[in-house]
Amino acid sequence: MHGMTPLMHAACKAQVEVCRLLLQHGADVNCNKQEYGYTALMFAGLSGNTEITAMMLDAGAEKDQVNSVGRTAAQMAAFVGQHNCVTLINNFFSWARLEYYTRPQGLETEPKLPPKLAAPLHKIIMSTNLNPVKMVMLVKESPLLADVGALEKCYRVMDLLCEQCVKQQDMNEVLAMKMHYISCVLRKCLSFLRQRDHNLNALLKSLLKGRDGDGFPQYQEQFIRDVIRKFPYCEATLLQELVYSIAPVEIGNDPTAFSVLTQALTGQMVLMDSEFCATCGERGAEKRCTLCRMVVYCGQACQSLHWFTHKRVCKTLWQPSSQMDPAQLRELPDHDDEVSVTEDSSVTEDSSVTEDSGVTEDSGVTEEETASSLRELHLGPEVSEADASSSTCEASASSSTCEAFDDDVPMTCPAFPTDFHF
Ligand SMILES: [Zn+2]
Ligand SMILES: [Zn+2]
C-alpha cells in the first residue's frame, strides 16, 4: 500500500520496540497520508497488538479519525475481530485530560481534583469492566478515594468531563455516558459512606444480592437502569438506543441493563458464560464453586463476598447425578483449580436459615426516586411504594438489627463456613 510511514509498517507488523523507538523520535502518530487514509492506530488495531495500540493512544492518536470509507480504528479492529483492541480504543482516556483538573484553573485557589486522587480515579476511568461491583471494589481498595470529601470532588470532575464530552465539537456520547456512569457509582459509594457503611460492604452486598426464586441481582439491575435514566442529555442518540433496548425487558430477563450498557460503551458482548466472575465480572475467572459447579470466581475474596446470596441458589443449581450424601461429596477428588468444600457448608444450611433474615441491604431499591423514575421512563416494571417497602422490609421485619452495615456479614454468620476455601 502506498504512503505508509515507518510507524504504520511497524504497527502493521506488531513490532513493539520499533514503534516505541519511532514515537520517541517524534514520528507523527496521526499521519493519514496512506492511500486509503489509514493511520498508525488503525494498523495497530488491525494487528491486534494491545501494547502497540495503547502506545499509539498514549502518544496522542486521534481515535475518531476515519479512513477513506469513513471507518474509525475501533470499527476496523472490530471488523477483523480484534476485540481487545476495540475495547482499549473505546475506553481510552488520556491521563493529560484528567490531570488538567489537578491544577488550579483561572481564579481557582485550589484544583478541582487533588493530585493524589488522579491516579486511582484514572484507573477507574480506564477500567473496561463496568460491573458496578468491580467499580465499588476499585473505590474500596484505594484508601484515598474511599472518603466522603474525595468522592465529592471526584464525582464533580466526572460530571464536568461528561459535559465536556457532550459539548465538544465531535460529541462523544459513549465517553459521556461512561463518565456519567462512573459519577453515579461514586455518588452511590458516597451515599453509603454517609450511611456509615465505612468499608462499602453493604453496598457491595446490595449489588450482589439475588432476589428470591432465581437469585437475579435485582438491585444491581435497577441501579444501572436508573443510571441510564439519569443521563442529563436526553437528546443523545445513545441514550435513546439504550432505553429502547432495555425498556421492554422485564427485570430478570436478558439482556440485562449491564450487558446492554457494556456493549454500548466497550463494544464487548457480555456473555453470561462461565468465563466471568460471578461477583465482579472480571474475565478469565477460573475458581469454580465445587458444589454447583455453575459459577466461577476470580478468587477467594470474590467467592466469600458472593456466598451470602449464592448459597441460597447453590443447592438448586447443584444436581448430583446420583443420590450421594455430603460425606461422599467430600471424598470426591478435587481439581487443583477448584473450590474445595471442606465443611458441610452449603449442604447443611437448612438448619440455619434464620440468619438469612439479617440481609437487608435492599435499602437503595426502595428509594422513592428509583421507583418514580422507573415509572417515568418505563425502564422497568412499576415499583409501587408498597411493593418497594415490602421487599426491603421483609428482612427488617424478621430481624430487629440491620446487618447491612456490619463490617463483615458473611464471616460472622453462624452458617458461613469460615474455612471455606479454594
Ligand atoms: Zn471477581
Ligand atoms: Zn455453588
**Chain segment 1-53, per-residue pLDDT in tens:** 688 999 999 999 999 999 999 999 999 999 999 999 999 999 999 999 999 99
Q: Report how far residue 286's alpha carbon sits from residue 277's, in angstroms, rounded to the nearest whole number.
A: 8
The three grid cell numbers given for residue 276, joined into one nine-digit string: 466471568
Of the ranges 56-60, 262-266, 274-278, the best mean pLDDT one: 56-60
Q: Report how far residue 13's alpha carbon sits from residue 19's, in angstroms, rounded to the nearest whole number.
A: 10
Gap from CA of 220 to ligand 2 centroid (Å) = 20
Are 252 and 172 found together in one domain? yes
pLDDT for 202 beyond 90: yes
CATH label of the domain that carries residue 73: 1.25.40.20
Predicted pLDDT of residue 368: 41
Q: Please indicate, yes or no, if residue 357 is contained in any of the structural domains.
A: no
Are 58 and 164 found together in one domain? no
Ligand nearest to the CA of 341: 2
Gap from CA of 325 to ligand 2 centroid (Å) = 16
Range of the domain at 164: 94-269
- Residue 265, CA distances (Å) to 181, 221, 400 in order: 10, 17, 42
Q: Report how far residue 299's alpha carbon sits from residue 306's, in angstroms, rounded to the nearest whole number.
A: 11
Q: Report how far residue 262's alpha carbon sits from residue 268's, in angstroms, rounded to the nearest whole number.
A: 6
Q: Report how far residue 39's alpha carbon sits from residue 37's, in angstroms, rounded to the nearest whole number.
A: 7
Q: Report how far residue 7's alpha carbon sits from residue 314's, in angstroms, rounded to the nearest whole number.
A: 53
Asked which of 51, 68, 92 is the last residue of a domain, the reply is 92
Predicted pLDDT of residue 399: 34
Gap from CA of 24 to ligand 1 centroid (Å) = 37
**Chain segment 292-329, per-residue pLDDT in tens:** 888 899 999 999 999 999 988 888 776 654 444 444 33
Ligand nearest to the CA of 295: 2
Q: Please indicate, yes or no, if residue 101 is contained in any of the structural domains.
A: yes
**Chain segment 66-78, per-residue pLDDT in tens:** 999 999 999 999 8
Query: Quick one: angle between helices 173-194 and 201-208, nearest 10?
Result: 120
pLDDT for 253 beyond 50: yes
CB 395 within 8 A of CB 360: yes
Ligand nearest to the CA of 287: 1
Q: Report how far residue 65's alpha carbon sits from residue 63's, in angstroms, rounded to the nearest whole number.
A: 6
User: H helices within 195-299, ranges in order?
Assistant: 201-208, 218-229, 237-246, 257-266
Q: Please indicate, yes or no, if residue 151 is contained in any of the structural domains.
A: yes
Gap from CA of 393 to ligand 1 centroid (Å) = 29
Q: Report how far residue 127's alpha carbon sits from residue 291's, in angstroms, rounded to the nearest whole number.
A: 32
Ligand nearest to the CA of 290: 2
Gap from CA of 284 to ligand 1 centroid (Å) = 9
- CA–chain centroid gap for 179, Å, is 13
Asked which of 92, 115, 149 is the last residue of a domain, the reply is 92
Gap from CA of 97 to ligand 1 centroid (Å) = 30
Q: Report how far residue 394's alpha carbon sits from residue 356's, in angstroms, rounded to the nearest whole number.
A: 11
Are 121 and 173 found together in one domain? yes
Q: φ and ψ at 92, to 5 degrees?
A: -70, 135
Gap from CA of 249 to ligand 1 centroid (Å) = 26
Are 111 and 46 found together in one domain? no
**Chain segment 316-362, per-residue pLDDT in tens:** 776 654 444 444 333 333 343 444 433 333 333 333 333 333 333 34
Ligand nearest to the CA of 204: 1
- Residue 311, CA distances (Å) to 118, 204, 276, 330, 415 in order: 39, 16, 18, 17, 10
Predicted pLDDT of residue 172: 83
Are 183 and 253 found together in one domain? yes
Are 134 and 262 found together in one domain? yes
- pLDDT greater at residue 272 or residue 268: 268
Are 107 and 203 found together in one domain? yes
Ligand nearest to the CA of 316: 2
Q: Report how far residue 138's alpha carbon sits from residue 310's, in angstroms, rounded to the nearest whole number.
A: 22
Share of the chain above pLDDT 70, in %: 73
Query: Can you list the pairs that 110-115 forms with residues at least 24 positions away whose Cβ atoms lie under 8 Å?
Result: 112/153, 112/156, 112/157, 112/160, 113/153, 113/154, 113/157, 114/150, 114/153
CB 125 within 8 A of CB 160: no
Q: Please indicate, yes or no, if residue 308 is contained in any of the structural domains.
A: no
Are 70 and 98 found together in one domain? no
Ligand nearest to the CA of 286: 1
- Residue 225, CA distances (Å) to 131, 309, 323, 421 in order: 13, 22, 43, 35
Under the banding of pLDDT at 50, 70 and 90, the label for residue 264 is confident
Using CB atoms within 10 A of its CB, is residue 83 exposed (0-12), middle (13-18) or buried (19+)? middle
The three grid cell numbers given for residue 287, joined into one nine-digit string: 475458581
Q: Report how far residue 72's alpha carbon sits from residue 45's, in angstroms, rounded to the nearest whole number.
A: 10
Predicted TM-score (pTM) above 0.85? no
Gap from CA of 283 to ligand 1 centroid (Å) = 8
Are 128 and 10 found together in one domain? no
Gap from CA of 255 to ligand 1 centroid (Å) = 21
CB 189 within 8 A of CB 139: yes
Are 129 and 261 found together in one domain? yes
Q: What angle do CA 142, 147, 151 make, to 5 degrees?
A: 95
**Chain segment 154-169, per-residue pLDDT in tens:** 999 999 999 999 988 7
Q: Please indicate, yes or no, if residue 280 is contained in any of the structural domains.
A: no
Ligand nearest to the CA of 346: 2
Q: Please indicate, yes or no, if residue 122 is contained in any of the structural domains.
A: yes
Are 136 and 57 found together in one domain? no
**How many of the other CB atoms lie within 10 Å of CB of 238?**
18
Q: Please indicate, yes or no, if residue 78 is contained in any of the structural domains.
A: yes
Which H or E run includes 56?
Answer: helix 50-58
Gap from CA of 306 to ligand 1 centroid (Å) = 9
Domain count, the chain: 2
Q: Please indicate, yes or no, if residue 274 is contained in any of the structural domains.
A: no
Predicted pLDDT of residue 367: 40
pLDDT for 396 beyond 60: no
Are 53 and 27 found together in one domain? yes
Predicted pLDDT of residue 171: 79
pLDDT for 373 beyond 90: no
Asked which of 72, 92, 112 is the last residue of a domain, the reply is 92
Predicted pLDDT of residue 52: 95
